[in-house]
Amino acid sequence: MISPTDYKSLSDNLSLGQDQEQLIVDDFDDILNNMTFLLDYVESSSQYNGSEFYNSAIGSLDKEISNNKNNIQEEKIDSPSLMLSVVLALQKHVANNYGDVNDFLSDYSIKVKQTFADLSEATGYIIDPGNVE
Q: Which domain holds residue 103?
A: 4-131
DSSP assignments along 32-75, one per residue:
HHHHHHHHHHHHH-TTTTTSHHHHHHHHHHHHHHHHHHHHHHHH
pLDDT at 78 over 60: no
The CA distance from 83 to 69, in Å, is: 21
List, for residues 5-19, the tens digit of each pLDDT value.
988 988 888 888 777
The total of structural domains in the chain comes to 1
Q: Indicate the length of the chain as a whole number.
A: 133
List, for residues 23-36, the tens digit of each pLDDT value.
666 666 666 666 66
Instruction: Please give the model's pTM, rounded to 2 decimal places.
Output: 0.63
Q: Bigger pLDDT: 6 or 72?
A: 6
